[in-house]
Structure 1
Amino acid sequence: MNAQPVATVTASAATAKPIEGRGTWALAWSRLRHDRVAMISLVVILLIVVVAIAAPLVAHVTGHPPNEQYRDIGLSPEGLPRAPNSTFWLGTDDLGRDILVRIAYGARVSLLVGVVATGLTVVIGVLVGLAAGYVGGWLDTVLARIVDVVLSVPFLLVAIALVSVTGPSMTVTVLVIGFFSWASVARIVRGQVLSIREREYVEAARSLGAGSIRIMFVDVLPNVLAPVIVYTTLLVPVVIVTQATLSFLGLGLPPPTADWGGMISSAQNYYTTAWWFVVFPGAALLITTLAFNLFGDGVRDAFDPRFSQQLRR
């Protein structure tokens, strides 16, 4: 009487798919894919990247180079910027240049500085944090004091001093931002390394004769990448805003380079008579930083969903 049910259960068990384990990265990607805000933000970021790459195409379609001054058709008889029209879709600036084209080229500058400066920051911070956390001892003490010194130096004063000596340039901007940002990454990495350097798999690697360099980069580093990635996604918008701030203060890229901070600075005296001059570059900066921040929040929640649950309580 019970043979048939037992056979059925045995056959079902045999044909059932085995339960597959999912690693941290797979779970994080699954959570991120189901986060609508993060995915929409990622689409916006990709669109901004496309606009930056296609900046020469935008200039070709409009027929307006980014630094060309159209004083006859780009300025009113009173010498004021032109409002958005069929010739200048987003209007012109105080020199008669096409704002749409300059915003597209400004996206190139912001993304390039954001990615390069963030990459420099993360590389330096990870190397210093790994060395300090894993080696420890006097090296940890020395590096910790260096981190404290870097974090205590007034950023704007040093930036002004460097620019006054070397002149404004993209290289100086990237180096200044990278130099003053790596210390925070180093602290995060050092704390993570201190918590895992005595774990079993690290001790096993030591007992097998692995060198310190191999252990740091093969056994330790992959286990601290998650917080580094989260911090990196949240650091990019900070770097973009910092670059725009330096340009706004005249410490960024030299004119006539198109960048959003410089455009907003030039529009200070025209916000009552030419609203488009300040609104469109400001909106581009706001949308870009907001998209990166929202995506960074999604990445953080994907790796640590408990954090977002605590915020809701």
Structure 2
Amino acid sequence: MATGSADEQFERIDWESLDGGRRGFATRTKVFLAGTGLLAVLFAYDLLVLTRQDEIFGRLDPERITWLFVLSLLAFACFVVVPLVTDRKRTRRYWRRLRSNNAAVASLLYLVCFLLVGTFGPLAFAPDIEFSHASQPPLLFSVDSLYPLYCLGEISNGLCHGTLRYPLGTNADGKGVLRLIVAGFRVSLVVALVTSMLLVPLATGVGLLAGYRGGWTDRLLMGYVDVQQTVPSFVVYLVLIFLFHTSLFLVVLVFGLTSWGSAARLVRSEVIQRREEPYVVAARNAGASDFHVIRHHILPNVSSTVVTAVTRQIPTLLLAEAAIAYMELNDIMIQSFGETIAYGLRGDWQTVWWPVVFPVAAFSLTVVAFSVFGDALRDVLDPRGDV
């Protein structure tokens, strides 16, 4: 049995203490299962009872992707936010490791704002169309007065000046660029959370099973991963849009169910290393079941691997979704960054530049923030970081 500093090299979690010493599922897991059951009942009621003209929550009529988004928010709250809040000692240790990396801290602050704006922003800043307000310049900027159909700001020397009503200007349809960015944040957040909700359990489950069981189980699962990785997710999506209509739901489903192979391989590699550690062998020799060994000794030491792998994969997923929307292979009614940028480029974007520049900047910051934070997350979650 490992003791002293050697034992500190592994992430030790007292699962029973997190649940008040009780056996069975932790409280947060029970809350997640109860919330999932409630969402399933509401979804069934919406699907089987209500018509398209009916509304389930006042003025809100959720679509399929909305149900998945709410479920992913619930999972994020239960398995990320709650552990960070309740286990303050562990959170302070993570923060000590993170704060030495200024770029990672800045990325984290940006991603917190991204999460809040993407979640609540569309409730107050839904894109609206005012054709008479088309091509309004941003605040503190101006454009030739011939471009806007009706200038809302001051006109001087033949130039139309921007106003506070549209601080980032409007596009050719009169949609506020700020509202379009908020809508783009929502789409990117949906892609990040929903695909992660699919990737994490799949990669963890397959990696744990393949690495711990070994033998024909390992060969079968890793053989499937090899086959899956030879077929790009984008190609799978192109095939499926001929069978189903284009939608964001199809995008996240395809990429979430076909992009977990590399993360599963990393988990498998970690499990193979951990399963022969002295403390794992001692637990098995003491009569512990495979489930007990995996839950108490293997999973805590590989969880950081899958979380880091998925976080670093999110930028690729965001770029893929934006590319699909840019090529108009997604639902054109969804205000993705790709759709917003593509529409802005159709006009005289060298003069009316703000419908392109501001969304590109916001989307680029989001991708870079996920990349930087994902790179730093491995060091933050590494249980050997304080040794």
TM-score range, shorter chain: 0.7 to 0.9
2:118 equivalent among 35, 44, 52: 52
> Structure 1: which amino acid aligns with 2:319?
V
Report the equivalent of 1:113. Answer: 191
Give the CA deviation at 1:244: 1.4
Does residue 263 of the first structure (1) align with residue 329 of the second (2)?
Answer: no
2:101 equivalent among 29, 35, 42: 35
- Say which is worse superposed, 79-88 or 189-198, in terms of deviation: 79-88
Report the equivalent of 2:132. Answer: 72
2:166 equivalent among 88, 102, 106: 88
Give the CA deviation at 1:47: 1.7
Per-residue displacement from partner, 1:185-228 (whole Å, max 9, x unpaired)? 11000111111112212112212222222222222111112222
Mark the CA change 1:305 to 1:217 in structure 2 (over 3 Å): closer, same or farther: closer
Report the equivalent of 2:374. Answer: 296
Report the equivalent of 1:9. Answer: none
Mark the CA change 1:55 to 1:302 in structure 2 (over 3 Å): closer, same or farther: closer
Count how many residue pairs are aligned between Structure 1 and Structure 2: 281
Report the equivalent of 1:189. Answer: 267
Larger radius of gyration: 1
Could you tell me how far apart the structure 1 residues matched to 2:135 and 2:105 are? 41
Could you tell me how far apart the structure 1 residues matched to 2:333 and 2:345 are? 17
> Structure 2: which amino acid aligns with 1:32?
L
- Say which is worse superposed, 211-220 or 195-204, in terms of deviation: 211-220
Could you tell me how far apart the structure 2 residues matched to 1:248 and 1:81 are? 29
Report the equivalent of 2:61. Answer: none
Report the equivalent of 2:157. Answer: none
Mark the CA change 1:56 to 1:141 in structure 2 (over 3 Å): closer, same or farther: closer
Could you tell me how far apart the structure 2 residues matched to 1:303 and 1:108 are? 27
Report 1:228-247 matches (<5 A).
228-247=306-325
> Structure 1: which amino acid aligns with 2:180?
R
Does residue 137 of the first structure (1) align with residue 215 of the second (2)?
Answer: yes
Does residue 161 of the first structure (1) align with residue 239 of the second (2)?
Answer: yes
Does residue 222 of the first structure (1) align with residue 274 of the second (2)?
Answer: no
SS of residue matched to 2:181: helix
SS of residue matched to 1:179: helix
> Structure 2: which amino acid aligns with 1:88?
Y
Could you tell me how far apart the structure 2 residues matched to 1:110 and 1:282 are? 13
1:147 equivalent among 225, 229, 232: 225
Report sequence identity in percent.
35
Report 1:4-43 matches (<5 A).
28-43=94-109
> Structure 1: which amino acid aligns with 2:343?
S
TM-score (norm 2): 0.66
> Structure 1: which amino acid aligns with 2:97?
R
Greater relative CO, 1 or 2 (CA 8 Å, sep 6+): 1
Could you tell me how far apart the structure 2 residues matched to 1:226 and 1:282 are? 31
The answer as to whether partners of 1:93 and 1:277 remain within 8 angstroms in 2 is yes
> Structure 2: which amino acid aligns with 1:49?
L
SS of residue matched to 1:267: helix
Mark the CA change 1:33 to 1:24 in structure 2 (over 3 Å): closer, same or farther: farther
Could you tell me how far apart the structure 2 residues matched to 1:45 and 1:92 are? 25
Per-residue displacement from partner, 1:122-170 (whole Å, max 9, x unpaired)? 2101100100000111111111110000110033221111122211222
2:202 equivalent among 110, 119, 124: 124
Does residue 287 of the first structure (1) align with residue 365 of the second (2)?
Answer: yes
Give the CA deviation at 1:35: 2.0
> Structure 2: which amino acid aligns with 1:176?
V
Mark the CA change 1:100 to 1:218 in structure 2 (over 3 Å): closer, same or farther: same
SS of residue matched to 2:243: helix
- Say which is worse superposed, 73-82 or 36-45, in terms of deviation: 73-82
The answer as to whether partners of 1:202 and 1:219 remain within 8 angstroms in 2 is yes
Mark the CA change 1:55 to 1:84 in structure 2 (over 3 Å): closer, same or farther: farther
What residue ranges of structure 1 are gaps of 5+ in the alignment?
A: 1-20, 60-64, 308-313
Could you tell me how far apart the structure 2 residues matched to 1:103 and 1:180 are? 28
Could you tell me how far apart the structure 1 residues matched to 2:174 and 2:282 are? 68
Give the CA deviation at 1:73: 2.3
Per-residue displacement from partner, 1:19-46 (whole Å, max 9, x unpaired)? xx97766555422133222111111111
